[in-house]
Structure 1
Amino acid sequence: MLPSWPWVTGVAAGLVSLHFAQKLFFPYFWTDLKFLLKAVKYGVTMEIHRLSGRIWTVLDKFVTLAEKQPDKPFLVYEGKVHTYRSVDKRSNRLAQLFLKEGTLKRGDTVALLMSNEPDFIHVWFGLAKLGCVVAFLNFNIRSRSLLHCISSCAPKMLVVGADMLGTLEEILPGLQEDIRVWVMTKESRLPHANTILDKLEVSSDDPLPVDLHIVNNLKDPHLYIFTSGTTGLPKAAVISHLQTLKGAAGLWAFGATPDDIVYITLPLYHSAASLLGIGGCIELGATCVLRNKFSASLFWSDCKKYNVTVIQYIGELCRYLCKQPVKEGEKNHKVRLAIGNGVRTDVWKEFLHRFGNIKMCEFYGATEGNICFMNHTGKVGSVGRTNFFYKLFFPFDLIKYDFQKEEPIRNKYGWCERVKKGEPGLLLSKVNSKNPFFGYAGNKRDTEKKLLRAVFKKEDIYFNTGDLMVQDQNNFLYFWDRTGDTFRWKGENVSTTEVSDVLGMLDFIKEASVYGVSVQGYEGKAGMASVILKPQRSLDLKQLYEHMATYLPSYACPLFLRLQEVIEVTGTFKQQKFKMVGEGFNPTAISDPLYFLDNLKKSYVLLTKELHEKIVSGEMKL
């Protein structure tokens, strides 16, 4: 018997109403659910592997791909193709060489000081095949900071690229004697430096015994990646196999496929390029086009030349591309996905207008953090979305923060308080067995400092990201600012403590306070230092410039200098930077002498009203 028409009509009307209600009140329900199910599927797959008694790492996936698709290009570098098989065999040669030398054993740490080149990956994979933990060193840092990084991860060995020999020569006198040094050359004039390339020619490319690198626990360390965090000198963030696998899933989660060609110009010592980029290509079985250094003028021609379909970016990279002169045929490329973080809303819009229908996949995640947001909807300016389901798996909160005291606000009962939607709050991520925080190598004090306890109840433990975020009424999240003694410039985190220490080495400076200031038209904040001179001493601007250029990477050198007689402090004797940050670098509003770092004159020069106007108008490039 057929159902009566009124009943059918009622059901249809109900379904239509439900559909419109969902569109009106939960417009992102299905896209959120689809994305969440994708993430859950990946997690379930990892758990199945674990329960089967064989943990499947990124390295295991690569070795399997080298067997399944040996002739497929894995890396393309300066026009030369490196197949999955050739990368596998060269990494075997390196592993066999170090194994034969007998200096390394499973679990040892090896520090890697190399720029973007295929051998960075060969060495990384070769050492991983020996079960070693690899520490990625930032090749921009020098002298004391570099020695600090090396000593903090306690390596048995240091491997240095051929183009880094000058940096190595600077630190050799201060390097611990028990650290063996290997250089990617056939010969070397440096004392106690072992050469690799001459020995590699006769090294076997046979596979290594699997038991050397088999992983029994996903929480075991795989890499150390250095981060400034929010305070102090660079710290070696412990990157576990679990984090490596999660990072490798990023390209796949945003919709990349095995047929994609991924263009990486970011430095491999960063997690974005190594975990998301290289790891992501392995997760997909895709091809990576690697460039030694980002070039704004050659970016799109490279994309066309190599048929690139996916690019990685940071905000500065997008801004540099938008600043390039407009050329005919800028949209004539195959790029469909751009994956990265830190792009401003205005640059985002201009980028799409200039370069075509590219899906911008913005995400948020700290190197050492236990939380990640991904903007899977393409909402301009947002770093991602949250919802009820997401918070079940990845619990987090935005809490009230005292900007002057630089600490979370607690109520009369001692508990932190959540901010309302639309208000900036400090992002905290709950630490539990599913979302652990692995901390920093050999640094219990700084590891503990990143944890916030008794947040809403006594037993709470949260990871303090040090980042301020805003959540809007539709549950989109937006990055607002950084807290602590770190600011971001040219895509790099700058430690104010490190810069202050370097300034303090000068014999005419009594005290220095370093902070970041906003500059119109630029991402992040530019470095500024307020200094007090020692009695009867004068400010040597040329010596100051030379000192900064010698001991700091270019992005960390303070662009602005403020000469003061007294630096204000808080009641607990902390430097009062909040007021100085707000005052910026405007010579018409500040009575103290101000100076600007002039690279053409290789000196700091007086910051005049005219020079200030050129900087804020964009006529003077920073």
Structure 2
Amino acid sequence: MASIPVPVVAAGAIPGAAYVNARFSLAHDSLFFRIFGSTLIRLFRARRGDRINVFYVLEERALDKQVRGRPFILFEGRSFTYAETYERALRYGAWLRERHGVREGDVVALDYQNSEMFVFLWFALWAVGAKPAFINHNLQGAALTHCLRASTARLAIVDPRVAESVTDEVRQELSGPMEFVVFTPEVDAEAQKQEPVRYPDAVRTEDEPTNMAILIYTSGTTGLPKPAIMSWAKIYMAANVSAKGVAATQSDVFYTCMPLYHSAASCLAVCSALFVGATAAIGRKFSTKTFWKEVRETKATIIQYVGETCRYLTVAPPEMDPVTGENLDKKHCVRAAMGNGLRPDVWDRFKERFGIDTIYEIYAATEGAAGFWNVSRNSFSKGAIGRFGVLSGAVSSIRSALVLIDNETELPWRDPKTGFCRRVKTGEPGEFIVNLPADDIKKRFQGYYGNEAATNSKIMRDVFKKGDAWFRSGDVLQWDSDGRVYFNDRIGDTFRWKSENVSTTEVAQVLGLHAAVQEANVYGVQLPNHDGRAGCVAIVLDTPQVNAPVLASLAAHARERLPRYAVPVFLRLVKEVGMQSTGTNKQQKHTLRQQGVDPSKVQDDAVFWLKDGTYVPFTQTDWKSLQEGMVKL
């Protein structure tokens, strides 16, 4: 028998290997085990050498002759190398210790806008063994006072740009234990006169990777923010998840203009760059007018998004070269966009408009006990927040589960006979929960700092067997037969209408596909004399002139693509994108739900309701008819 040439065999094997990889998602398995394996090895070595504090990663980079001269931080046209950042951290750390008495284990509040100074002060605190509490610099009044008090800090370092928020009232409320230092140029000059001191390793000793590294606050959209404990282990994992997920190298530049007070920017972007010796380019704040300009100026190769960031970029007008008139949408060096919250209705439009090869969607939460990711280069996993291969899926099914939700209580459903919860079937929505070591929960879930009640509210016991413990995410997800995971809704956002559950995420995605819609924020509103909540959408259209054909087209679009009960009953026309967003571009619904559709409470927004197959103006008279029970929807 004649032998088959090797090239022919190889050529035949390539499609077969590609099929096996696609069928079983072997590449995702490989990434899963590389991330977890490398994180565990790195943590093991750090713990063995008492080098858990991430300050030591900066020190390693700054002392490496091949890396020390490379830029670590880029900000507003200025560049700071690893060596310069390390020297500044030592200098500021010595100033904090000698001038303000900061000691190991102390919590120090950092109320700062994005800047290179934020990073210097952050690492200066780690250099002396202290723990920063990242304060949302937008907070004022009672919310700011609450966050500062909850941190237990006795010192707060304040950005001069936000110093007006630290009013006399705030100072009086926190008088005594709290010292405020506004880091003016004069104070900076004083701090830079301090000799840089590398204090002994004993001040940075950490006995467990689960010890607190940073306090990062929840958004506080439905109440006052809570300080979530970000452990060293979570930072190691976050850095590895993003760096390895985008195959980052020292030549990469991570660009983020998301707020550094949030873990997405600080841990998934800045720390990822640090862990591979790459560069972190920081924007002061998000703006569609400056985003791509800064990306081009910094030659960023990886950009970060959160929430509706990509939508806002996609609906913004293109930037044109003032000299040549050339469209600059694809004039950049970006090879990957990394983040969380990119919706399916924007996914392809964003990729195509800006020429982005790879979307790296990450699902995680600061206080969460687990997360996952989706590396997407084609339409197969478009819109998925996670993707698993056969092996990684098996591991994940042991450590986590999706459980059936009780529609009345919005809690995991319990069997009346056994009292246990029930896993949902593949393709069904369920709350994502994560297994915790029942006898030592803090190994995987450190909870909220100084708030035992809030911590315990996230823990369920006796879920599948007596004595077990699970973390509640509060998110409803779906896991399909191909290992793709999709976000369904946030518990509390899903509402019941006509005895059916309505997913706000599903409705928003469908409406977002309409050509006239720039943003759709869906929520349920309570109506007089009606059970459940009726669907309402705060919507931004691409034209200020809202006429009957546009309204009729929206109604027809929704009716054709959504179940009858899920078609929004009301439209609230808002004027511009991002009006109901947090600092991390995540849509807020709480205030919208409270205002409802009473025309006297929706400010200057026009409200429409579904009538005779289209949307027509909803007036104060119509609202009165609902109140008097004259109208039944």
Are 1:291 and 2:287 matched, yes or no?
no
Classify the secondary structure of the residue corresponding to 1:249. Answer: helix
- 2-structure distance, mates of 1:36, 1:136: 30
Of residues 239, 244, 252 in structure 2, which corresponds to 1:248?
Answer: 239
Give the corresponding residue for 2:458.
Answer: 450
Q: Which amino acid aligns with 1:595?
A: K
1:28 aligns with 2:28: no
- Equivalent residue, structure 2, for 1:184: 183
Equivalent-residue separation in structure 2 for 1:30 and 1:277 (angstroms)? 26
Question: Is the CA contact 1:526–1:559 (under 8 Å) kept in the aligned structure 2?
Answer: no
Shift, 1:298, TM fit: 2.3
Q: Kindly report the root-mean-square deviation, in angstroms, between the aligned alpha carbons of the 2 structures.
A: 3.6
Q: Match for residue 340 of structure 2?
A: 341
Stretches of structure 2 lacking an aligned partner (at least 5 in a row): 320-326, 496-503, 513-517, 529-578, 619-633
Is the CA contact (8 Å cut-off) linking 2:476 and 2:491 kept in structure 1? yes
**Would you say 1:352 and 2:351 are equivalent positions?**
yes
- Structure 1 window deviating more from structure 2 (343-352 vs 27-36): it is 27-36
Q: 1:330 to 1:559 in 2, by over 3 A?
A: same
Gaps of 5+ in 1: 188-195, 488-514, 533-548, 564-583, 586-591, 599-604, 617-622
1:475 aligns with 2:466: no
> In the aligned structure 2, how far is the partner of 1:226 from the partner of 1:340?
19
TM-score (norm 2): 0.75
The farther-off stretch of 32-41 and 129-138 is 32-41
Shift of 1:171: 1.8
SS in 2 for 1:141: coil
1:307 matched residue in structure 2 = 299
523 and 152 in structure 1: CA distance in 2 versus 1, 3 angstrom threshold: farther
- How far apart are residue 248 of structure 1 and its match? 1.3
Q: Distance in 1 between matches of 2:522 and 2:432?
A: 23
1:385·1:475 contact (CA, 8 Å) conserved in 2? Answer: yes
Matched residue type, 1:358: D
Check conservation: 1:223, 1:240, Cα contact below 8 A: yes
Residue of structure 1 in register with 2:192 after alignment: 201
Q: Does 1:226 align with 2:217?
A: yes
- Residue 181 of structure 2 is aligned to residue 173 of structure 1: no
| Structure 1 residue 63 displacement after superposition | 1.0
Partner in structure 2 of residue 596 of structure 1: 602
TM-score (normalised: structure 1)? 0.76
| Correspondence for 2:561 | none
1:403 aligns with 407
Q: Deviations for 1:322-357, whole angstroms, at most 9, x for unmatched residues?
A: 011235142221100110011111201101110114
The 8 Å contact of residues 340 and 363 in structure 1, kept in 2 or not, is answered as yes
Q: 1:85 to 1:614 in 2, by over 3 A?
A: farther
Q: CA deviation at 1:384?
A: 1.1
Of the structure 1 ranges 97-106 and 411-420, higher mean CA displacement relative to structure 2 is found in: 97-106
Q: Which residue in 1 is equivalent to 2:467?
A: 459
Match of 1:158 in 2: 156
Report deviation, 1:19. 8.6
Report matched runs for 1:292-441 at 5 Å: 292-327=284-319, 328-378=327-377, 379-390=381-392, 393-394=395-396, 395-412=399-416, 413-432=418-437, 436-441=444-449
The residue that corresponds to 1:541 in the other structure is none
**Equivalent position to 1:54, from 47, 50, 54:** 50
CA distance in 2, matches of 1:526, 1:19: 44
Which of 208, 215, 221 is the aligned partner of 2:206?
215
Counterpart AA for 2:104? R
* AA at the equivalent of 2:478: V
2:38 counterpart (20, 37, 42): 42
8 Å CA contact 1:296, 1:324 repeated in 2? yes
Per-residue CA deviations over 1:247-274 (Å, capped at 9, x if unaligned) read 1112322111111011111000110000
- Match for residue 264 of structure 1 among 252, 256, 276: 256
* SS of alignment partner, residue 237 of structure 1: strand
SS at match of 2:275: helix
| Cα distance in structure 2, aligned partners of 1:70 and 1:615 | 63
The answer to whether the 8 Å contact 1:223/1:238 transfers is: yes
Q: Distance in 1 between matches of 2:129 and 2:261?
A: 19
The aligned amino acid for 1:139 is: H
Counterpart amino acid of residue 56 in structure 2: D
User: Which residue pairs with 2:629 in the alignment?
Assistant: none
Counterpart-to-counterpart distance in 2, 1:443 and 1:559: 25
2:388 maps to a residue whose letter is T
1:448-480 Cα offsets, whole Å, 9 max, x none, are 110011111012111100000001111100011
* 2:140 counterpart residue number: 142
Kept in 2: contact 1:371–1:435 (CA 8 A): no
Whether the aligned pair in 2 keeps the contact of 1:55 and 1:216 (CA below 8 Å) is no
- Out of 118, 121, 125, the position equivalent to 1:120 is 118
Moved more, 425-434 or 68-77: 425-434
Q: Single out whichever of 325-334 and 516-525 deviates more from structure 2.
A: 516-525
Cα distance in 1 between the residues matched to 2:126 and 2:310: 33
- Say if 1:138 and 1:597 are closer, same or farther in 2 by CA, change over 3 A: farther
Instruction: Give yes or no for contact 2:155–2:181 (8 Å, CA) kept in 1.
Output: yes
Q: Name the CA distance, whole Å, in 2 between partners of 1:615 and 1:238.
A: 48
Paired position in structure 2 for 1:535: none
In 1, the alpha carbon distance for the partners of 2:166 and 2:506 equals: 33
Q: CA deviation at 1:52?
A: 3.5
Deviations 1:543-596 (A, max 9, x none): xxxxxx9xx989769664767xxxxxxxxxxxxxxxxxxxx74xxxxxx54532
Q: 1:280 aligns with which of 272, 276, 282?
A: 272
Range with greater deviation from structure 2 (442-451 or 373-382): 373-382
Instruction: Give the Cα separation in 2 of the matches to 1:527 and 1:596.
Output: 14
What is the Cα deviation at residue 305 of structure 1? 1.9
Q: Distance in 1 between matches of 2:181 and 2:278?
A: 31
Q: Aligned partners of 1:287 and 1:562: how far apart in 2?
A: 43
Indicate how the Cα distance of structure 1 residues 400 and 594 shifts in structure 2: closer, same or farther if over 3 A, else same. farther
Deviations 1:194-220 (A, max 9, x none): xx3242132112323322113222111
- Check the 8 A contact 2:608/2:616 in 1, yes or no: no
Deviation of 1:56 (Å): 4.0
**Equivalents in 1 of 2:78, 2:489: separation in Å?**
41
Deviates more, 1:146-155 or 1:553-562: 553-562
Q: Which residue of 1 aligns with 2:567?
A: none
SS in 1 for 2:128: coil
Output the CA distance in 1 between the equivalents of 2:97 and 2:136: 26
Q: 1:516 to 1:178 in 2, by over 3 A?
A: farther
- Alpha-carbon distance change, 315 to 561 in structure 1, aligned in 2, over 3 angstroms: closer
Give the AA of the match of 1:171.
V
34-43 vs 261-270, which moves further? 34-43
Residue equivalent to 2:85:
87
Change (3 A) 1:230 1:275: same
TM-aligned CA distance change 1:243 to 1:24, over 3 Å:
closer
Distance 1:103 1:354, change over 3 A: same
**Is 2:108–2:132's contact at 8 Å kept on the other side of the alignment?**
yes
Using the TM superposition, give the Cα deviation of residue 516 of structure 1 relative to its aligned residue in structure 2, in angstroms.
Answer: 11
Indicate if the aligned counterparts of 1:137 and 1:269 stay in contact, CA closer than 8 A: yes
What SS is found at the alignment partner of 1:289? Answer: strand
Letter in 2 for 1:83: T
Structure 1 residue 37 displacement after superposition:
3.2
1:503 corresponding residue in structure 2: none
Instruction: Give the Cα–Cα distance (whole angstroms) in 2 for the partners of residues 60 and 233 of structure 1.
Output: 34
The 2-side partners of 1:561 and 1:445 are apart by 26
Counterpart residue identity of residue 26, structure 2: W
- For 1:476-530, what per-residue CA distance to the aligned partner results, in whole angstroms no more than 9, with x for missing partners? 000111114899xxxxxxxxxxxxxxxxxxxxxxxxxxx9997644778478887
